[in-house]
Chains A and B, each alone.
Chain A
Amino acid sequence: MAFNFLVVDDSETARAVVVKILRLSGVAVGEVHEASNGVEALQLLEVEPIDALLTDINMPEMNGAELIATMQQDERLAAIPVLVISTEGSQTRVEHLLQEGVRAYLRKPFPPEKLREALEGLLPQ
């Protein structure tokens, strides 16, 4: 079974890095969709079957925290596991994100095996 992912980051470079590491992680990857902010992500979530969302926090228009909060208000979207991928190093902020519905957090940069470990805890085995 291959999983479909949505990668959300305003930097094309950051998205490319995440996609590259995702494909090297050993996780069964199906389709990978990309969005540059929360608004685009919500539009894709409406039409694409996504198994896990990988999102940055600091983005224009709608940031990652706003995206996660919006998803939590929708029963279908709230069930999609969210992994935050960010430069954020503050444990205080990370704990806040985990309380807001985020299932896992990875600080940039990270190797493929760290991403696999994080996703194994989110995706059905």
Chain B
Amino acid sequence: MSESSGPIIDRVLINVLETMAFIFADPWEEIEVEELAPWLAVRLRFHGHGEGQVVLATTNRCARMLRAEVLGQDADEVTDAAAEDTVRELLNVICGNILTELYGSVPVFNLEVPEIRPAECDEIAGLAESPESGKVFIDGEPIIVALQPA
């Protein structure tokens, strides 16, 4: 894996959003992280052929919007727990596809259960600047996915 994985993650992220949620992503633009807070981050560790984690960061608003889009609900009625279930599942699908894109279909990986937590702005800025991250907007809200090999 000598080249940056950013373009591969971009492609996976766009495909998963379109196919799983019928959401069409917009290109990334520079953001003011503090203005978009609060953020949350989901981390999924993987083991096996390689070790590391994939992190998905987005705003709380975007998490609720994703849930509403997928389940056909009103975003104002989406609970935090329901929104978290959606971003966990989204990361689960994205992570599986990133690993297959990067390493092929022969190696075996074990994925842990995704962990979710609030995220600080400094961490989000670091993820957004990483060449190993994919980044899109959906309806004006950012989604960042970063690969962090151990």
Contacts and interface: CB of A to CB of B under 8 A. Distances in A.
Interface of A: 11-14, 16-17, 20, 58, 86-93, 107-111
B67 to A, nearest CB: 7
Given A87-B92, A89-B96, 5 more contacts: A17-B20, A87-B95, A91-B105, A93-B108, A109-B15
29 contacts: A11-B88, A13-B67, A13-B70, A13-B88, A17-B70, A17-B89, A20-B70, A58-B111, A87-B97, A87-B111, A88-B96, A89-B96, A89-B97, A89-B100, A89-B109, A90-B105, A90-B106, A90-B107, A90-B109, A91-B106, A92-B108, A107-B96, A107-B97, A108-B20, A108-B92, A108-B96, A109-B19, A109-B20, A111-B19
B16 interface: yes
Determine which residue in A17, A90, A110 has the highest number of CB atoms from chain B within 10 A of its CB, and name it.
Answer: A90
Contacts of A14: 89
Contacts of A110: 19
Contacts of B1: none
A24 B109 CA distance: 31
B105 to A, nearest CB: 4
Interface string B11-26: 0000110011100000
A91 B99 CA distance: 13
Closest A-B pairs by Cβ, 9 of them: A87-B96, A89-B100, A109-B19, A109-B20, A13-B89, A11-B89, A13-B86, A90-B108, A91-B105
